[in-house]
Amino acid sequence: MLAPSMQSEGAGESIIGRRAEREAFGAALDGGVGLVFVHGPAGVGKSTLVRAMVDEAVARGRRIHHLDARDFLPSPRTFLAALGAVGGVGGGEPTIIVVDTYEVLGSIDDWMQRELWPTVPGASTLVLAGRVGPSPRWMEVAAARGRPTLELALRNLGRDDAVGVLRARGVPVADHAAAVALTGGQPLALALIGDLTAGRASEPEAPDDAGMLHRLFRRLLSGLTAARRQALEAASVVRALTEARLATLLDQRDVGELYGWLASLTCMQRARHGLWPHDFAREVVVAELRWRDPAWFDTLVLRAHHDGMARFFQAATGDQLRVLDDLSYLHRFNPMAQLGLDWAACEHYPDQARPADFDGLAATIRRHEGDRSAELVMPWIVRRPEDTIVYRDRIGRPAGFLVIVALERATAEELAADPVSAAAWRMATAADGPCAHGEGALLFRSWMSAEVHHAPSPIWNLVSHSMMREGLMRPKLGWSGAGFANPDFWAPFFAYFNLQRFGALDYQAGRLTIGIFGNDHRLIPRSEYGDRLAERFKASPSGPVRPLVAPQPVLLERERFAIEVRRALRRLWREPKHLELLRNPLLHARVMTQMVAAHANLATRIAALRGWIDAALARTDPGPRAALEATFTATEAAKGPVVAERLGLSFPTYRRLLARALEALVDELWRSETSALAG
């Protein structure tokens, strides 16, 4: 076994155990094995064993092309670029191609089998190291080429090897038996005990698997200096930490010693883009930090956010999505962000739409939104496939997509054929609109996960990053927007990220109401948007979300206005916290600007809406009004026939009076709304 400490890159580590695995690899090199799989759970020493295998191959004169899958986004294009940067597949010279952390590349595993493997020369060997074992298909493709395979499934160490690790790390002999019993030979836990006992006598606890790593790590934390603890906290807040980023987070110039110390820790992992703790270590550090010093936690997140936005604008195109992924990772602690983001591992990669995708994309749209929606969206995809991003699964099938329409580049004929795009362009280019002076407008015309449509999912994470990148990088952009089914669900999420609801642009897609959320980029310059958003971290996560700027009044057409009045009546007196009411656009009607402050919370707005409706009702005919009040304002809901009976009316008469009352109420509310608009 190789003790899995994370010493400086390239530093030699004494080999302790894993003799059988090392001998098997040596024999594989001699025997022309084409595929080697190294797999096992986190902390079992895979990467350390791989480094020993690399040393063995170098000693035998083999050329090494070593990749870590955490250094690039999982797609065929980025993989080939990364492989090309270290020498490609190797040509005729015997080469060992090593891909560490292979589980990250699950989305292109099939492509690796179909496209990459056949290009690996016969004298070379492909080594894949990850947490899961190979699929049966790998064995089939290897056999088809007549290439032998080797599978090394790593488990915890046996007693003798475990004792060897403890001895090498200076753990007193008297503690060996207890330490082995406590850890079960888990290499990372053995190394942590070595860290704990460095320079002092150890105190192993009674054997108990539950929470063992967490308890060990808490003990390690308790012995750190303030500077080292802050450095470890900084590493735990961000997705990955470089030395320059550590200097920014700690607001110090010289952090070389601290960064070197972090790199030496057993619990740290590394890749080209930085260091980060093992999951269990990150969990312990962040939990204790948020409890012990929430102000310092907020400071770290704010600094990381500012740094991330600066890196985004400096990054190459291929690296920008990774930076946005880093930024979204900072929001994982906020309940509003948790509502709409899914941090599950994503096994998909972005790609351009191709003609072979068209039929499948059309079928997906029809399944979720109906034939008419497919008729409107597909022309954009077919005419401009370069403006459609397809998110592919591991065998290359579209698992989701995003259609991007730059409205200022659309022709009059294209807009005339799509009422949704046409309405957005009219709104944006109106006399007082965000694009009235030649600015561009970006409509994310359609997006969806093939499986769950607009529900939060890993596909949505990819879509959101693509949307943000397009919105931040397009020059002279005045407005951007996207449609979402179930807009009431999404509204709190977008309020957190300061996207407005453009109610006048809502449309129907089959049985679904699609609400448009977007940004008027005049209100906050795009260069400042990220920094403004970062300030959200200063607020209590459980408190109300305040918009970055005052929300603009929602202007509805008369027909839509009447619909929203009826929707409000259904909930206002009985279910004031129902999502349908909380996101009703009447809460941001023009007249509301005269009744509540711009940043009034939802409870205040709901009370004001009730007062507005009460005042309007009081101005209507008392006869019909009684039917409406009995239907909507009574404590308990009842069906129409029951309400009619309570009022002593026949059901037809009740329905006629209720219709008159609703019409009169809408007239009164519309009169006050249009008066406010005129004023």
375, 517: one domain:
yes
419, 488: one domain:
yes
Domain's final residue, options 538, 567, 589: 538
Q: Is residue 636 pLDDT above 80, yes or no? A: no
Average pLDDT in the 71-87 region?
84
Of the listed ranges 29-43, 147-161, 277-291, 324-338, the one predicted with least confidence = 324-338
- Chain segment 99-108, per-residue pLDDT in tens: 988 888 887 8
How does the average pLDDT of the chain come out, rounded? 81
- Chain segment 595-616, per-residue pLDDT in tens: 775 545 556 677 788 888 888 8
Q: Look at the alpha carbons of 157, 104, 82, 128 in this order and tell me if their dihedral is positive or negative.
A: positive
Residue 85 placed within a domain: yes
Q: How many domains does the chain have?
A: 5
Q: Is residue 83 pLDDT above 80, yes or no? A: yes
407, 530: one domain:
yes
H or E stretch covering 625 = helix 622-632
Q: Is residue 11 pLDDT above 50, yes or no? A: no
Higher pLDDT, 343 or 559: 559
Q: Which residues contact 480 (CB under 8 A, 6 or more apart)?
A: 441, 442, 443, 444, 467, 470, 471, 474, 518, 519, 521
H or E stretch covering 513 = strand 512-520
Strand 512-520 versus strand 349-352 pairing type = unpaired
What are the distances in angstroms from CA 429 to CA 376, 412, 426, 526? 22, 14, 5, 19
179, 146: one domain:
no
Higher pLDDT, 616 or 218: 616
260, 165: one domain:
no
If pLDDT is split at 50, 70 and 90, which confidence band does 364 have?
Answer: very high
273, 353: one domain:
no
CB 321 within 8 A of CB 465: yes
Q: Is residue 445 pLDDT above 90, yes or no? A: yes
Residue 9 placed within a domain: no
The long-range contacts involving 652-655, CB below 8 angstroms and separated by at least 24 positions, are 654/627
373, 507: one domain:
yes
What the block records as the tokens of 175 is 């503690």
Residue 70 placed within a domain: yes
Residue 461 belongs to domain with CATH number: 3.40.630.30
Residue 10 placed within a domain: no
Q: What is the pLDDT of residue 365?
A: 96
530, 613: one domain:
no
Q: What is the DSSP annotation of 212-239?
A: HHHHHHHHHHHT--HHHHHHHHHHHHSS
Q: Is residue 4 pLDDT above 50, yes or no? A: no
409, 531: one domain:
yes
CB 512 within 8 A of CB 475: no
Residue 53 belongs to domain with CATH number: 3.40.50.300
Greatest mean pLDDT range, 230-234, 335-339, 342-346, 524-528: 230-234
- Chain segment 131-183, per-residue pLDDT in tens: 878 877 888 888 888 888 899 888 888 888 888 888 887 888 877 887 776 66
Domain's final residue, options 186, 204, 221: 221
Q: What is the pLDDT of residue 637?
A: 67
Angle at which helices 176-183 and 187-197 cross, to 10°: 140
600, 463: one domain:
no
Residue 548 placed within a domain: no
What are the distances in angstroms from CA 447 to CA 14, 229, 344, 367, 380? 52, 43, 19, 13, 12
Residue 296: burial class (beta carbons within 10 Å; 0-12, 13-18, 19+): middle
Separation CA 401–CA 365 (nearest Å): 10
Average pLDDT in the 245-272 region?
87
Residue 163 placed within a domain: yes
H or E stretch covering 25 = helix 19-30
Residue 342 placed within a domain: no
Residue 6 placed within a domain: no
- Chain segment 61-75, per-residue pLDDT in tens: 888 999 888 877 788
Q: Could you give the percent of the chain with pLDDT greater than 70?
A: 82
pTM: predicted TM-score of the whole model, two decimal places: 0.55
Q: Domain residues for 87?
A: 19-153
Q: Is residue 231 pLDDT above 90, yes or no? A: yes
Residue 203: burial class (beta carbons within 10 Å; 0-12, 13-18, 19+): exposed
- Chain segment 539-574, per-residue pLDDT in tens: 434 443 444 344 455 667 788 888 889 888 887 877
Closest of 103, 2, 106, 116 to residue 55, by C-alpha: 2
Q: Is residue 243 pLDDT above 90, yes or no? A: yes
Q: What is the pLDDT of residue 62?
A: 87
- Chain segment 401-416, per-residue pLDDT in tens: 999 999 999 999 999 9
Domain's final residue, options 100, 130, 153: 153
Length of the chain in terms of residues written: 679
Q: Which residues contact 444 (CB under 8 A, 6 or more apart)?
A: 402, 403, 404, 405, 467, 470, 480, 481, 482, 483
Q: What is the pLDDT of residue 545?
A: 40
- Chain segment 484-541, per-residue pLDDT in tens: 998 888 888 888 788 889 999 999 998 899 999 998 887 776 666 666 666 665 543 4
361, 309: one domain:
no
Q: In 154-267, at which residue ranges do the beta strands (DSSP E only) sit?
A: none
Residue 89: burial class (beta carbons within 10 Å; 0-12, 13-18, 19+): middle
Separation CA 251–CA 275 (nearest Å): 18
512, 376: one domain:
yes
In the beta sheet, which residues pair with residue 64? 96
